[in-house]
């Protein structure tokens, strides 16, 4: 049945491999109503060549071996059977007790290190225990020594208090001699002094000062004792042994061969030892007026307002000793026992010659005298 639609249409040609040419209707432009249609050329379509055999597949290297593959593995890698990994744990009694890749030398080294550390720790512990024991032993010895020293100190203080108490209360020769230094030497001095000034019992209350002192290598104690009436009594005691002391009676009473006032006024001739305070002076008069020949010292003593001027030859040993002693003394006032002598037919009313320094203090402890030439 002819198509009623005059419009040209396309006809589908199947690619069935047929070699027969087929007619193809070409669309042609349509001219105007009065334009004759050109002759339609006839086109023939060449038959499609027969399909060749299927093309070969391009073989490429697998993705697992491709350096530039993505992070996600391919299906082949996922489906691969994993290799069996060697376990670090070995069954008890198994033959493979050695770890793969870890030689026996490491076990030996680690064992030696552990053993050495154990030996060192043990030795350190034993040494520490020995040191602790030594420290404890030292502490015990120190504690025992301290206890001994404390006991000796308590006995010494008790002995000092008892000696001072008995000394201040002594009013007889038999009571005082066991308590004083050099009893045989000072016994006649005590008898002479008590003739001029009888002893008086004094009540001891307590110690106000207890200070150690060393004189010519001998241990002494300076003591101030509070007595009845609130007065203080100054004493010098020599320590004998651990817990025995003796009072220096001469310094306590400031013993003089004759009273100082009587000596100043009477001016007896002959050398005598006096306990005096010494200061340097420039009082040159009468037979001692030559300052190039003499050096002057002002002399005074306890319990007296009287004063004398002592002279010693310039450049002598006694002058050098006295000047150095005065210059180093507190307030440049020195304390000493001096041997003094009044010149016969002396014109100086207060001038005396200093023959030697018996002691550089008021206590006699055996110091060597400095004599004039």
Q: What is the pLDDT of residues 155-186, one digit of tens each?
A: 889 999 999 999 999 999 999 999 999 999 99
pLDDT of residue 151: 84
Written as six digits, the tokens of 95 are: 């033959």
For residue 15, give Cα distances in angstroms to 44, 50, 332.
Answer: 15, 10, 149
Most confident of 3-7, 62-66, 337-341: 337-341
Q: Is 98 in contact with 104 (CB distance < 8 Å)? A: yes
Domains and CATH numbers, the chain: 116-254 (no CATH), 260-371 (2.40.50)
What is the number of other CB atoms lying within 10 angstroms of the CB of residue 190? 19
What is the number of other CB atoms lying within 10 angstroms of the CB of residue 96? 10
Question: Tell me: the pLDDT tens digits for 39-93?
Answer: 555 545 455 555 555 555 555 555 555 454 555 555 555 555 555 555 545 555 5
Tell me which residue has tokens 């290799």. 83
Q: Is 350 in contact with 288 (CB distance < 8 Å)? A: no
Residue scoring higher pLDDT (148 or 154): 154
DSSP-derived secondary structure letter, 286: G
Above pLDDT 90, what percent of the chain? 48
**How large is the average pLDDT for residues 89-99?**
51
* DSSP element (H, E) containing 218: strand 218-227
Q: Is 163 in contact with 247 (CB distance < 8 Å)? A: yes
Using alpha carbons, select from 157, 158, 156, 194 the residue that is nearest to residue 175: 194
The sheet carrying 245-247 orders its strands as 204-215, 218-227, 232-239, 245-247
For CA atoms 325, 330, 333, 334, the dihedral sign is: negative
**In this predicted structure, which of 72-76, 147-151, 329-333, 339-343 has the lowest mean pLDDT?**
72-76
Is the pTM higher than 0.75? The answer reads no
**How large is the average pLDDT for residues 16-27?**
50
User: Is 238 exposed, middle or buried (CB count within 10 Å of its CB: 0-12, 13-18, 19+)?
Assistant: buried
3-state secondary structure 14-66: CCCCCCCCCECCCCCCCCCCCCCCCCCCCCECCCCCCCCCCCCCCCCCCHHHC
Phi/psi at 160 (5° precision): -65, -45
pLDDT of residue 368: 42
Note the Cα 81 to chain centre separation in Å. Answer: 75
| First-to-final CA distance of the chain | 184
Most confident of 52-61, 98-107, 356-365: 356-365
Residue 373 scores a pLDDT above 50: no
* DSSP element (H, E) containing 337: strand 334-341
Using alpha carbons, select from 371, 342, 345 the residue that is nearest to residue 271: 342
Q: How far apart are CA 176 and CA 178, in angstroms?
A: 6
Residues 6+ apart with CB under 8 A from 25: 8, 10, 11
Tell me which residue has tokens 């060697």. 86
Ramachandran assignment for 252, one of left (phi > 0), alpha (psi -120 to 50 degrees), beta (any other): alpha
Q: How far apart are CA 200 and CA 250, in angstroms?
A: 16
Q: How far apart are CA 97 and CA 358, in angstroms?
A: 101
Q: Is 186 in contact with 176 (CB distance < 8 Å)? A: no
Query: Angle at Cα 240 formed by Cα 235 and Cα 244, nearest 5°?
Result: 75
Q: How far apart are CA 170 and CA 249, in angstroms?
A: 12
The confidence band for 316, taking pLDDT boundaries of 50, 70 and 90, is very high
The confidence band for 133, taking pLDDT boundaries of 50, 70 and 90, is confident
Q: Is 149 in contact with 216 (CB distance < 8 Å)? A: no
């Amino acid at each position: 049945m002819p198509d009623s639609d005059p419009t040209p249409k396309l006809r589908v040609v199947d690619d069935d491999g047929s070699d027969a040419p087929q007619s193809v209707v070409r669309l042609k432009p349509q001219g105007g109503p009065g334009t004759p249609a050109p002759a339609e050329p006839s086109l023939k379509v060449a038959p499609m060549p027969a399909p060749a055999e299927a093309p070969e597949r391009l073989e490429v290297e697998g993705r697992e071996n491709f350096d530039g593959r993505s992070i996600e593995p391919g299906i082949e890698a996922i489906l691969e059977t994993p290799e069996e990994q060697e376990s670090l744990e070995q069954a008890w009694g198994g033959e493979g007790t050695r770890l793969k890749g870890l030689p026996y030398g490491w076990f030996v080294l680690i064992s030696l290190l552990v053993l050495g550390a154990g030996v060192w720790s043990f030795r350190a512990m034993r040494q520490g225990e020995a040191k602790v024991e030594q420290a404890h032993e030292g502490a015990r010895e120190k504690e025992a020594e301290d206890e001994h020293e404390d006991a000796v100190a308590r006995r010494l203080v008790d002995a000092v208090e008892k000696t001072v108490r008995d000394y201040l209360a002594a009013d007889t020769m038999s009571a005082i001699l066991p308590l004083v230094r050099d009893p045989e030497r000072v016994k006649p001095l005590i008898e002479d002094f008590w003739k001029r000034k009888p002893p008086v019992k004094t009540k001891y209350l307590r110690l106000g000062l207890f200070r150690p002192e060393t004189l010519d290598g001998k241990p002494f104690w300076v003591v101030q004792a509070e007595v009845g009436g609130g007065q203080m009594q100054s004493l010098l005691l020599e320590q004998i042994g651990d817990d025995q002391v003796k009072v220096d009676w001469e310094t306590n009473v400031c013993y003089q061969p004759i009273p100082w006032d009587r000596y100043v006024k009477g001016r007896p001739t002959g050398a005598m030892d006096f306990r005096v305070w010494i200061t340097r002076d420039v009082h040159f008069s009468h037979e001692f007026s030559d300052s190039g020949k003499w050096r002057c010292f002002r002399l005074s003593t306890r319990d007296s307002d009287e004063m004398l001027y002592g002279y010693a030859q310039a450049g002598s040993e006694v002058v050098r000793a006295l000047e150095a002693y005065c210059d180093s003394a507190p307030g440049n006032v020195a304390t000493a026992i001096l041997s003094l002598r009044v010149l016969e037919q002396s014109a100086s009313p207060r001038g005396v010659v200093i023959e030697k320094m018996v002691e550089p203090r008021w206590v006699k402890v055996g110091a060597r005298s400095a004599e004039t030439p």
